[in-house]
Copies of this chain bind each other. A is one copy, B any other.
């Protein structure tokens, strides 16, 4: 039996059409259901998995932007993906997710080769206790997808109540344990609950409108991570007029030799509690 993440991100590739668009067939998985439609992270992970499986893909995923136009209903959906241009060291994709003849997501992706250059990880990870000294959190049943993650909040868990600082920092890994790869990492970049929950200390109507994830990790860094939990942190900058943003980072761990695996940015809508 394959891992539940692999079941959820599985795609079947169709033929390219006359316009060089490849169609991949996917199906929602009940284990990654969210309050309205599937967990956005699993949708991104499925897109990344599909594009990586294309024989013409160049290198590894570097950036993915996805826009959520409408909820995906339970059942089958189709990813329409097109390589618009392949340069010497990077490659540009556009894609749409179509269900029942409606486009429910749009997006773009950049793949790239890793070239050896000067390097510096300028950002620093949060200072935290080890994962095994932090308690794992249970989410309510109506957030099904969270059951596939072990999340240990160092700060900014929902149990902390209302907070003037929207920062959440957590250790997170797949349940059951699974070696980290690009789809799993992409999924985790959308695993932060909406920052507005933390500011109000309660669940509220909210959802992602657009998400841009930048993947810094090399294949070697992912292999070195194995099944160890990653250290994830996110914070909002401005809330108001029905929207807010959030920026996040995913680190290989804490300490001096920690590697910044991914950075992520999104805009969400929200409604005031009635």
Residues of A participating in the B interface, judged by any CB pair closer than 8 Å: 62-63, 65, 67, 69-70, 84-85, 87, 89-90, 92, 94, 96, 102-103, 106-108, 110, 112-123, 164-166, 199-200, 209-210, 212, 214, 216, 218, 235-243, 245, 247, 249, 260, 263, 265, 267, 269-272
Given contacts A209-B62, A214-B267, contact A238 B123 (CB under 8 A): yes
Given contacts A103-B84, A214-B267, contact A238 B92 (CB under 8 A): no
| A63 CB to nearest chain B CB (Å) | 5
Contacting pair A247 B245 (CB below 8 A): no
Contacting pair B92 A199 (CB below 8 A): no
Residues of B within 8 A of A94 (CB): 94, 96, 106
* Other-chain contact of A209, B110, B115, B119, B238 (Cβ < 8 Å): B110
Contacting pair B120 A239 (CB below 8 A): yes
Besides A116-B241, A118-B272, A120-B239, 9 other CB < 8 A contacts? A62-B243, A67-B92, A84-B106, A114-B241, A117-B242, A120-B199, A216-B237, A216-B238, A265-B265
Residues of B within 8 A of A218 (CB): 241
Contacting pair A245 B216 (CB below 8 A): yes
* Other-chain contact of A210, B110, B120, B165 (Cβ < 8 Å): B110
Residues of B within 8 A of A120 (CB): 199, 238-240
30 interchain pairs, CB-CB under 8 A: A62-B267, A63-B209, A63-B210, A63-B267, A65-B65, A69-B85, A70-B85, A70-B87, A84-B106, A85-B103, A89-B269, A94-B94, A94-B106, A106-B108, A108-B108, A112-B242, A112-B269, A113-B242, A117-B241, A118-B200, A118-B239, A118-B272, A120-B240, A122-B165, A122-B238, A237-B260, A237-B263, A247-B263, A247-B265, A265-B265
